[in-house]
Amino acid sequence: MFTGIVTDMGEILALEQRGDLRARIGTGYDTTRIDIGASIACEGVCLTVIDLGTTPRNWFDVEISAETVSKTNLGGWAVGRRINLERALKVGDELGGHIVSGHVDGVAEVVATRPEGDSLRVTFRAPHDLAKFIAPKGSICLNGTSLTVNEVDGRDFGINFIPHTQKVTTWGSVAVADLVNLEVDTMARYVARLREWG
C-alpha cells in the first residue's frame, strides 16, 4: 500500500529482456535498509525488489511481467529515464496523499499543457472505461503521484501541478503525447460498483 507521495526520483540504469523485463533502478534510498522482496512503487506500479547494491551508487533490481508491460507505460522505459519512486507504507507513516495500491488501471495520454501562474495545468485523456471513475475534486494517481482533479470534460480531465510538485517529481518535464500510468481512486470504484447493484 502507498500514498502517492513521491519520495525519490530514480533513474533507469539498465534494462534486460529475459523471460520478463528486468530493470536496474538507481535511487537515493539507502539500499542497506531495503529488504529483498520489498515493494516499491515505480511510476505508480508496485514492483518487487529482487536484488540490490550500493556501488557505484545505490540501486535495486525489479522484474516486470509481460502483463504489467502491456497495461502500463513501463514498456517505454529507456536507460537514463527518471521515474517517480515511493516505498511501501509502514504502520505509523503519515498518510499525506490517498490510499494507492500500485495496481495500475490503465494508461492516460497528455493532450495539452499550459502555464497557469507559477503552476502548470495539464490536460489528460483517460481510457473510455476508466473515465467514469474520475470526478472533479476527486483523487487520482498518475505515475505514482497522488493528485486532485480540477475539472472533467468527458474523457478529458485537468490537473494543476504546483512548482514544488514539478521540482520533486518527474512532472517538471511532462510533454504532450506522454503516456502516464493511471490508478483510479479505490473509493470511486466501489461507489460505481454499488450504483450498479442499486
* DSSP β-bridge partners for residue 151: 158
Identify the pLDDT of residue 34: 97
Residue-level pLDDT at 191: 76
Judgement on whether residues 112 and 184 belong to the same structural domain of the protein: yes
pLDDT, mean over the chain: 94
Nine-digit cell at 139?
Answer: 483523487
Helix/strand/coil percentages in the chain, nearest 5: 20, 40, 35
Domain count, the chain: 2
* CATH number of 171's domain: 2.40.30.20
User: Is 153 a domain residue?
Assistant: yes
On whether residue 93 sits in a domain, the answer given is no
Statement to judge: residues 133 and 193 lie in one domain:
yes
Distance, in Å, from the CA atom of 58 to the CA atom of 193, rounded to the nearest integer, reads 43
User: Does residue 2 belong to any structural domain of this protein?
Assistant: no
Q: Which amino acid is at 3?
A: T
Q: Is residue 50 part of a domain?
A: yes
Q: Which positions ≥6 away from 24 have C-beta within 8 Å? A: 12, 13, 14, 15, 59, 60, 61
pLDDT in tens, 169-195: 999 999 999 999 999 988 777 777 777
**pLDDT tens digits, one per residue of 86-128:** 999 877 777 778 889 999 999 999 999 999 999 999 999 999 9
What range defines the domain where residue 63 resides?
A: 8-87
Pick the last residue of a domain from 24, 53, 87: 87
Q: 3 or 192, which is more confident?
A: 3
**Residue 73 and residue 113 in one domain:** no
CB within 8 Å of 152: residues ≥ 6 apart: 131, 134, 135, 136, 158
Return all residues near 180 (Cβ < 8 A) that are at least 6 apart.
73, 107, 108, 109, 110, 124, 142, 143
Q: Are residues 119 and 192 in the same domain?
A: yes
Residues 123-134: tens digit of each pLDDT:
999 999 999 999
Evaluate whether residue 95 is within a structural domain.
no
HSE of 149 in the Cβ direction (CA atoms, 13 Å)? 25
Helix (H, G, I), strand (E, B) or coil at 75: helix
Instruction: Answer yes or no: do 123 and 190 share one domain.
Output: yes
* Residues 121, 44 within the same domain: no
Instruction: Dump pLDDT digits (tens) for 38-90.
Output: 999 999 999 999 999 999 999 999 999 999 999 999 999 999 999 999 999 87
80 with 111, same domain: the answer is no
**What is the predicted pLDDT for the residue at 99?**
87
Q: Is residue 100 part of a domain?
A: no
42: β partners:
45, 85
Same domain? For 192 and 110 the reply is: yes
Whether residue 68 is contained in a domain is answered as yes
User: Sorting pLDDT into bands at 50, 70 and 90, what band is 198?
Assistant: low
pTM above 0.85, yes or no: yes
Query: Helix or strand or coil: residue 195?
Result: helix
**Which are the contacts of 56, defined by CB distance < 8 A and separation ≥ 6?**
none
Q: How far is CA 162 from the centre of its chain?
A: 17
